[in-house]
A and B are shown apart, each in its own frame.
Chain A
Amino acid sequence: MQVKKDVKVQKNTYKPPKGLKKGLSESQLAYALIAPALIMILVMALFPVVRSFWLSLFDLRLNHPTKSKVYLSHRLNMERYAGDYPYLEQIIKEAADEAQGDVKIELVSVRDKILHINTTLMSDQGIKKQYDQVSDLQMRMKPVGETLQYVSIDGDTAKSMIQIAKEVDEQLHKIKDTPGLKQIVKEIRDITKDAVAGAIIVPNFVGLGNYAHYLKDARLAAALGNTFLFTICSVSFELVLGLLVALSINRSFKGRGLVRAAILVPWAIPTVVSSLMWQFMYDGQTGIVAHIFAWLRLIPDSGYLLTTRTGAMFSVILADVWKTTPYMALLLLAGLQTIDASLYEAANVDGGTKWQQFWSITLPLLKSTMLVALLFRTLDAFRIFDLIFVLTGGGPANSTETVSVYAYKMMFNQMDFGKGSTLSFIVFICIALISIGYIKILGADVLKD
């Protein structure tokens, strides 16, 4: 519907260059011109969001032996199996021979089960061949390589192997305290866990399981709370202060250019750098801001700022307000300058007070600028990462951890990309909801060019 509107506007004013009409229509040219930008956006922005969602449906951990990739079918880690099985077979046979009475019965049964697993696997010629290749390489201390490392097995075999491994473990658990066999039983248990159960790769698709996990996660609830608290406080301070500054400097005075340049400095400094600056100034021992605040009795002692929940949240908000109020002020100033001065003159003639003028002229006319500025600031604040990551690292005791920081830690410290992607997709959903909310208020005309 908007497309039509646009087309109409264009039609009245513009005739395409003649040369274009020969081979390529105007819209084809337009698509060609817009293609590079569009491709980048699709590949580097849209596709990743979709993939994030896809990854969030898996139990994906980069440092886990059987979960480091997206697996949709069952596989066997041949490297692991071939590496440990011969030894397992040997020690279980020895143990079964050595044992007496009831323990012997258990061990013989365990032995038969383990042999059964191997026979089943080796009945497949392909698997057998790969097994031989891998053990040959391992005998010579050679790396196995990616192509030989895994072999596909069917789901039933995999499930029965896991089931048997579990039974074996229970059986061994019963006899784990047999005198004289303690050590070897423990070893058999460990290797069975490792070489049999640990070698089977089960599809790691978990559906919405990660989301279900986070529904009950207290840490996410706290992180969401912190994020909202930070967003609401910092954005409202910035709006009020920014408006105050914009109203004050919306006049001609000496040194106006200088003031405007000074305002741009915090905006231009990298956030990381400003975080480090504030971290230094907040420090309980060497920080000047901490000491001034303590001297003014704003805080009980100079260590308060970065060691307590309230202090740390306040510190983060202050640093953000310092950095972005100027930006807010500039946007609002630009908005103020579009307001026709004659409106105020007319109001003066009518005898309205400054305050009335502000409420009846400035605010309504500034509304759309304010909303756009608020939209951008809210989104930026909600996805805040670098300021908090550098200034507090989410501490103390996670009291300033936002959802983005939590997601980052999950992905890059814990290497859990399944859960981390879930968290990051939750941020995405929140941002989408906030945007939709604002755009509803603003009306669809934002999208109109």
Chain B
Amino acid sequence: MEKKAGVRFYIFLTTFVFIILFPFYWEVITSLKAPTEIFNGFTLFPKNITFKSYQSVFTLRPFASYLWNSFGVASLTTIYSIVIGSFAAYAVARLKFRGKAIILGLVLAVSMFPQIAIISPVYLFMKAVNLRNTWMGLIIPYTTFAMPLAIWNLSTFFKEIPFSLEEAAKVDGATPFQAFTQVIIPLTAPGMFTTAILVFIAAWNEFLFALTINMQETSKTVPVGIAMFRGQYTIPWGEIAAATVIVTVPLIIMVLSFQKQIVSGLTSGAVKG
């Protein structure tokens, strides 16, 4: 295909990137505008930069608590998913057992389940075992729905490790366990990391379970918290914009730093030789 990038190409590219990033830019400047400026006209740069929206996000609303909940839930979900997922992925990639195809099919099917079909029993279950409004109430379903991604991605990585390495370690006198921890785990660390990022982002962004299971002010996560900023008598666009910027910036940093891993993780399932 065409390999040389011409002027037209760059114009196209700039337009594309502009469209992709414009909403975010608009959100950033909205967060810096005073309320009256938001409601009057469309200035591309705020006339007077004010950080009042940021201030009130933290002082008038329990946004810090939302962030802490989201961070806690997403981190623990990530850890659980990686631990449980790598056990399963190891078995799938390296061991033979009856029913593998059925189990894999099941795992794949779970990734297709509509959440709405699951929400009412999960809600009633969490209500019955008193896990509503706790982190665990979200971590358990999140980990479950991260399983397909974790197992598929990790087993791909496990498969890439040559069996000979393990054998060599054993020849050198390592026990199977040492072979697992000292050879396999270090080699799959990048794969685990990639999977971890994807699981973390998915848990950080989830809305439906968080909306139904954790409704109390003290246990809300960021997406639910922001969606409910809009009160009966207020519509704080400035604060919504500020909160948006606060939750998006870490994601952008993550995306910038780990884009290779993310892309490989996202595409490993879809593209097969």
The answer to whether A and B touch directly, with their CB atoms under 8 angstroms apart, is: yes
Listed in ascending order, the chain A residues whose CB lies under 8 Å from chain B are 2-3, 6-7, 10-11, 13-14, 16-20, 26-27, 29-31, 33-34, 36-38, 40-41, 43-49, 51-52, 55, 245, 247-255, 257, 259-266, 268-274, 276-278, 280-281, 285-286, 288, 291, 322, 326-327, 330-331, 334-335, 338, 344, 354, 357, 368-369, 372-373, 376, 379, 382-383, 385-386, 389-390, 403-404, 407-408, 411-412, 417, 420-421, 423-425, 427-428, 431-432, 435, 446-449
Q: Given that A17-B176, A51-B121 are known contacts, is A272 also in contact with B23, CB under 8 Å in the complex?
A: no
Asked if B241 CB lies within 8 Å of chain A CBs, one says yes
Q: Are A344 and B1 in contact (CB under 8 A)?
A: yes
B252 an interface residue at 8 Å Cβ cutoff? yes
- Residues of chain A within 8 A (CB-CB) of B255 are 261, 264-265, 268
- B residues engaging A (CB < 8 A)? 1-5, 9-10, 12-13, 16-17, 19-21, 23-24, 26-27, 30, 38-39, 42, 84-85, 87-88, 90-92, 94-110, 112-125, 140-141, 143-145, 147, 151, 155, 163, 166, 170, 175-177, 179, 201, 204-205, 207-208, 212, 222-224, 226-227, 237, 240-241, 244, 247-248, 251-252, 254-256, 259, 262-263, 266-267, 269-273
Instruction: For A56, give the chain B residue with the smallest CB separation.
Output: B120
Q: Which of A18, A27, A338, A424 contacts B96 (CB 8 A)?
A: A27
Please tell me if the beta carbons of A335 and B270 are within 8 angstroms of each other in the complex.
yes
A16 to chain B, nearest CB (A): 7
Do B266 and A425 touch across chains, with their CB atoms under 8 A apart?
no
Given A14-B94, A277-B27, list of 17 further CB < 8 A pairs?
Answer: A6-B101, A10-B96, A37-B88, A38-B88, A40-B147, A250-B1, A251-B5, A270-B226, A271-B205, A272-B224, A276-B240, A390-B227, A412-B212, A420-B120, A425-B117, A447-B104, A447-B108
Residues in B neighbouring A280, C-beta threshold 8 A: 26-27, 30, 237, 240-241
Task: Assess A265 versus B20: contact at CB under 8 Å? Given A40-B84, A291-B42.
Answer: yes
Partner of B101, one of A2, A52, A276: A2
Which residues on the A side are within 8 Å of B227 (C-beta)? 272, 276, 390
- Shortest CB–CB separation between residue B31 and chain A, in angstroms? 11
CA gap between A417 and B92 in the complex, in Å: 38
The answer to whether A286 and B122 touch (CB under 8 A), given A16-B95, A45-B145, A424-B116, is no
Chain A residue with Cβ nearest B215: A412
Which residue of A10, A277, A420 contacts B23 across the interface (Cβ within 8 Å)? A277
Q: Which residues of A contact B205 (CB under 8 A)?
A: 269-272
Q: What residues on A are CB-neighbors of B113 within 8 Å?
A: 45, 49, 428, 431
Pick the contact of A48: B107, B122, B201 (CB < 8 A): B122
A431 to B113: give the CA distance in the assembly, Å.
7
Residues of A within 8 A of B204 (CB): 270
Distance to closest chain B CB from A436 (angstroms): 10
Secondary structure type dominating chain B contacts: helix
Judging by beta carbons under 8 Å apart, are B23 and A278 in contact? yes
Residue of B nearest to A368 (CB): B272
Contact, CB under 8 Å: A11 / B96: yes
Once bound together, how far apart are the Cα atoms of A288 and B25, in whole Å?
A: 12
Q: Decide: B226 and A276 in contact? CB cutoff 8 A.
A: yes
B68 → A minimal CB distance (Å): 16
